[in-house]
Amino acid sequence: MTKKYLITGGAGFIGSNYVHRLLKRGENVTIYDNLSRTARNIEWLKQEFGESAFNLIVGDVRDAQRITESAQGADVIVHLAGQVAVTTSVINPRDDFESNALGTFNVLEAARLSGKNPILIYASTNKVYGGMDDVELFEEPTRWRYKDLVNGCPETQPLDFHSPYGCSKGTGDQYVRDYARMYGLRSVVFRQSCIYGTRQFGIEDQGWVAWFIIAAVMGKPITIYGQTGARYSFCG
Ligand SMILES: NC(=O)c1ccc[n+]([C@@H]2O[C@H](COP(=O)([O-])OP(=O)(O)OC[C@H]3O[C@@H](n4cnc5c(N)ncnc54)[C@H](O)[C@@H]3O)[C@@H](O)[C@H]2O)c1
């Protein structure tokens, strides 16, 4: 049976790839996105599946009323919309807070009030773990690895929000977990890091693997910021 999916940030890199997968298996999809990054993925989805294969709501997650109306009847909400660059969050922390912390709160309230107890999936970040200074690293010929965390961070890894982006995403992360405790919302938090792939329009501030490739192909210079061996990445 097909389900009704609401994908916030569905015009973005992760969102459009996921929407592509959902449409391929015949699901009912609504994208909710303010198109602040690019509309190119929407055009691609229309080319792939046709103009009317999905619903598009050009809306902002800061708009509580609009997102609440849009979430009515959804079986699954995948919340990917937000301000995505650490650098931008440092320059304009209020905008970052409003899109990520308040925006996620608005999506949670929309889910709670939707009357269907939807599944809610939230795209969090490894920035919630901070500098992880107590975690030992070692260098291999082609990469750095954690010495003890061979499978990555466990759920028991202490939280230590770093940067306005880390704080705003971490606020959303904790709210999403608490809505499961308080309201029985069936929510899942993914703490992702430096994802890359097709349909990612990387820029110097965010999506740096894609940006390196774009810059290399277009003959643009690549700037390396920070110190050698710095532990902090500037990717989502
Ligand atoms: N890509 C990564 O490496 C990575 C790592 C950790 C976490 N994340 C998180 O995953 C999610 C998706 O990331 P992505 O790489 O696909 O980013 P993206 O920039 O490609 O997609 C984000 C989408 O959200 C939309 N958007 C931004 N602000 C909005 C707002 N206020 N209201 C409505 N729409 C808005 C943008 O137009 C864009 O289409 C984000 O929440 C990001 O914080 C990504």
**What gap in Å lies between CA 123 and CA 17, rounded to an integer?**
14
pLDDT at 109: 98
pLDDT at 1: 84
- Given a contact cutoff of 8 angstroms between Cβ atoms, the answer to whether 86 and 165 are in contact is yes
Q: What is the mean pLDDT of the chain?
A: 94
Domain 4-218 has CATH 3.40.50.720: yes
Q: What is the pLDDT of residues 141-155, one digit of tens each?
A: 998 899 999 888 888
65 vs 225, more confident: 65
What lies within 8 Å, CB to CB, of 71 at 6+ separation is: 6, 77, 107, 110, 111, 113, 114, 118
Q: What is the pLDDT of residues 178-229, one digit of tens each?
A: 999 999 999 999 999 989 999 999 998 899 899 999 999 999 999 887 765 4
Q: How confident is the model at residue 235 (pLDDT cuts 50, 70, 90)?
A: low
Q: What is the pLDDT of residues 102-114, one digit of tens each?
A: 999 999 999 999 9
What lies within 8 Å, CB to CB, of 166 at 6+ separation is: 86, 125, 127, 128, 130
pLDDT at 119: 98
| Binding pocket residue ranges, ligand 1, CB within 6 Å | 9, 11-15, 33-37, 60-62, 80-84, 99, 103, 123, 125, 169, 192-195, 235-236
194 vs 20, more confident: 20
Q: Where are the alpha helices (DSSP H) in the chain?
A: 13-24, 40-49, 64-71, 86-91, 93-97, 103-113, 163-183, 208-218
Choose the residue to mutate in 32, 41, 60, 84 for probing ligand 1, maximizing ligand atoms within 8 Å of C-beta.
84
Q: Is 165 a catalytic residue?
A: yes
The owner of tokens 């995505």 is: 84
3-state secondary structure of 73: coil
Cα of 137 vs centre of ligand 1, distance in Å, is 29
Which has the closest alpha carbon to 169: 159, 155, 158?
159
Q: How confident is the model at residue 236 (pLDDT cuts 50, 70, 90)?
A: low
pLDDT at 227: 60
pLDDT at 208: 87
pLDDT at 189: 97
The domain segmentation of the chain, as residue ranges, is 4-218
pLDDT at 115: 87
**What gap in Å lies between CA 160 and CA 138, rounded to an integer?**
22
How would you label 172-188 residue by residue, b for 16+ Cβ within 10 Å and e otherwise? Answer: bbbbbbebeeeeebebe
pLDDT at 224: 83
Choose the residue to mutate in 6, 7, 8, 14 for probing ligand 1, maximizing ligand atoms within 8 Å of C-beta.
14
Average pLDDT rounded to a whole number, residues 117-134: 95
